[in-house]
Structure 1
Amino acid sequence: MTAPMDALEADRALKTRHRAMWALGDYPAVAAEVIPAVGRVLVEACGVGPGQRVLDVAAGSGNAAIPAALAGGEVVASDLTPELLEAGQRVGAQHGAQLQWRQADAEALPFATGEFDVVMSCLGVMFAPHHQTSADELVRVTRPGGVIGLLNWTPEGFIGQMFAVMKPYAAPPPAGAQPPPLWGNEDYVSALLGDRVTDVTAQRKTVRVDRFPTAEAFRDFFKSRYGPTIATYRNIAEHPERVDALDHELAELARRHDRGAGAMDWEYLLFTAHKARS
């Protein structure tokens, strides 16, 4: 019985670490100020409408859950990090959106099999460490014929490249944890879901980001607001030369993607499917 208990303790520690990372900085500001449009894109792609039961997995502060509620869906926004749910409740109230907010692990969703008409995740489930487990849960809680909709950064796009830049400076990932940007690969997601889904549609799109006038402004914003970036800098805080090197690499990444006047196009994969009826 020792080995299973050790694995359980390790998983608990990993989830505690994830909660703490996403509570760092101000992810609600990232969602609201940098990428406000992507949640609406996913809601429209899923065809959310009045009366549909909708689950937003790893919802954060509700970038997709709130638009889904405003579209008439009966929405549950779930996330591992309570600080993000609290921020989402405030934002939802400001918009007059009515929805439920519930703390939940994407790898062990506390919902019944087939409970939802639409199960979606906008830049959220990709950060759960065990991809197949998360995919299995997405399918499980969707009713037969229901919609699964995912919007995730691609490995080749700006954010995927940002994670590649940060990797040498970050703490080693826990054993078994898989890279988030893999969820931005159509073949990878299709393999995770397998023959349990039909009518797959996958499109690579971009969101225009024009929040930052300079490459340094982007770097400094993410350095102070975005949990994974903050955690990476904390890992090298005692090595000023490495901090300087990461400062330089992040600014150069933004400079390479500058389309003029600081505007950048960040690529994501929009993936929708229906759960097979049998």
Structure 2
Amino acid sequence: MTDSRASQASPSPTPTATATATAPSESGQTEIDPTTADRVLKTKHRAMWASGDYPTLAADLIWSLGPVLVDAVGVHPGDRVLDVAAGSGNAAIPAALRGGSVVASDLAPELFDAGRRRAQEAGAELEWREADAEALPFDDAAFDATVSCVGVMFAPHHRRAAGELLRVTRPGGRIGVLSWTPEGFIGQMFKTMKPFAAPLPEGAEPAPLWGDEQHVRELLGTDVEELEARRQSVTIDHFASPEAFRDYFKRNYGPTIAVYGRIADDPDQVRALDDALVELARSHGLRTTGDALQWEYLLVTARRA
């Protein structure tokens, strides 16, 4: 890919030599069994999202996006709802409060304790299930609505993940996905981190592609009807300075933590990334207390054909 979408890359752990290997290939290089490689990759992804404090970040910055998604999908009392890559439940909990019978699923169950506490405080009842977005442990057509709020976009194999969203949604059911756009602030943050990050594993795609309407239309294809996509933004006024933004993400956000971990032994690289993240925030209007950032996202809703 050589268009603007190709420049966006999400930092992603890659399989390492610790994976079980098969016999050497004809080229003389040892090959890693694809199933084993995928398992190693998912283990690293789980560890990445469990690092830092994503539940605090979600509560501080983007909790309002969950209700936006739930409203757009139109969750009604009695609906069977699946939140894919739910994190600590910023879409799942509002869906449960609307009367849905909700399952919050995520690859990193370490995030669930915070979600359970939040749900209890809100008076919401729902089920929490560990699940890989690319291999969901649910029956075909099991849900009336399937949603994901800046979650499924981080599954490395987009077509597998999209196929699972479709598979578990009943015909006539609704699908809703909210994702950061490549051109928006978070998409540009991933672009900023890309030179410092590990290369994406073979077959993986950059997360912000889920924020490109054409890409999502291609993923869902003719299996959906009434697809609507609109770009919106959330206002972030949490940070007093560009440096405060950078340091917050270094502490709390798994993908940022992973990139800094990769370059930790190179002070020049660390300094360069520090400066790049500060400049990113400054270029988007954050200079002092009271300044706000606008984080653009793509909201896609569709009906299962």
The TM-score, its normalising length taken from structure 1, stands at 0.97
> Partner residue of 2:33?
6
Structure 1 letter corresponding to 2:110? E
Structure 2 letter corresponding to 1:175? E
1:18 to 34, 45, 57: 45
- Mapping of 1:46-195 within 5 angstroms? 46-195=73-222
Name the SS of the counterpart of 1:33 in structure 2: helix
Deviation at 1:34, TM superposition (A): 1.0
Distance 2:36 2:197 in 1: 23
Structure 2 letter corresponding to 1:55? L
> Partner residue of 1:263?
292
Name structure 1 gaps, 5 residues minimum. Answer: none
Residue 150 of structure 1 contacts residue 272 of structure 1 at CA under 8 Å; is this kept in 2?
A: yes
> Partner residue of 1:210?
237
C-alpha offsets along residues 158-198 of structure 1, whole Å, 9 cap, x if unaligned?
00000000011112222211100000001100100000000
Name the SS of the counterpart of 2:33 in structure 1: helix
Name the SS of the counterpart of 1:265 in structure 2: strand
Residue 119 of structure 1 contacts residue 138 of structure 1 at CA under 8 Å; is this kept in 2?
A: yes
The runs of at least 4 aligned residues of structure 1 exceeding 4 Å deviation read 2-5
Structure 2 letter corresponding to 1:272? T
Residue 155 of structure 1 contacts residue 184 of structure 1 at CA under 8 Å; is this kept in 2?
A: yes
Structure 2 letter corresponding to 1:144? P
Deviation at 1:86, TM superposition (A): 2.2
Distance 2:203 2:242 in 1: 34
Cα gap change, 1:218 to 1:77, in 2 (>3 Å):
same
Name the SS of the counterpart of 1:61 in structure 2: coil
C-alpha offsets along residues 235-276 of structure 1, whole Å, 9 cap, x if unaligned?
000000110110000011011112673200000000000000
Q: Structure 1 residues 2-11 or 63-72, which shifts more? A: 2-11
Name the SS of the counterpart of 1:78 in structure 2: strand
Distance 2:118 2:52 in 1: 17
Structure 1 letter corresponding to 2:238? R
Deviation at 1:93, TM superposition (A): 1.1
Residue 215 of structure 1 contacts residue 262 of structure 1 at CA under 8 Å; is this kept in 2?
A: no
Q: Structure 1 residues 91-100 or 137-146, which shifts more? A: 91-100
Structure 1 letter corresponding to 2:56? A
Residue 154 of structure 1 contacts residue 268 of structure 1 at CA under 8 Å; is this kept in 2?
A: yes
Name the SS of the counterpart of 1:25 in structure 2: coil
Distance 1:225 1:5 in 2: 32
Distance 1:49 1:197 in 2: 20
Name the SS of the counterpart of 1:51 in structure 2: coil
Residue 242 of structure 2 contacts residue 286 of structure 2 at CA under 8 Å; is this kept in 1?
A: no
Deviation at 1:213, TM superposition (A): 1.1
- The answer to whether the aligner puts 1:274 opposite 2:303 as a matched pair is yes
Residue 241 of structure 2 contacts residue 286 of structure 2 at CA under 8 Å; is this kept in 1?
A: no
Q: Structure 1 residues 250-259 or 44-53, which shifts more? A: 250-259
The TM-score, its normalising length taken from structure 2, stands at 0.88
- Mapping of 1:219-234 within 5 angstroms? 219-234=246-261
Name the SS of the counterpart of 1:137 in structure 2: helix
Structure 2 letter corresponding to 1:95? A
Deviation at 1:5, TM superposition (A): 7.9
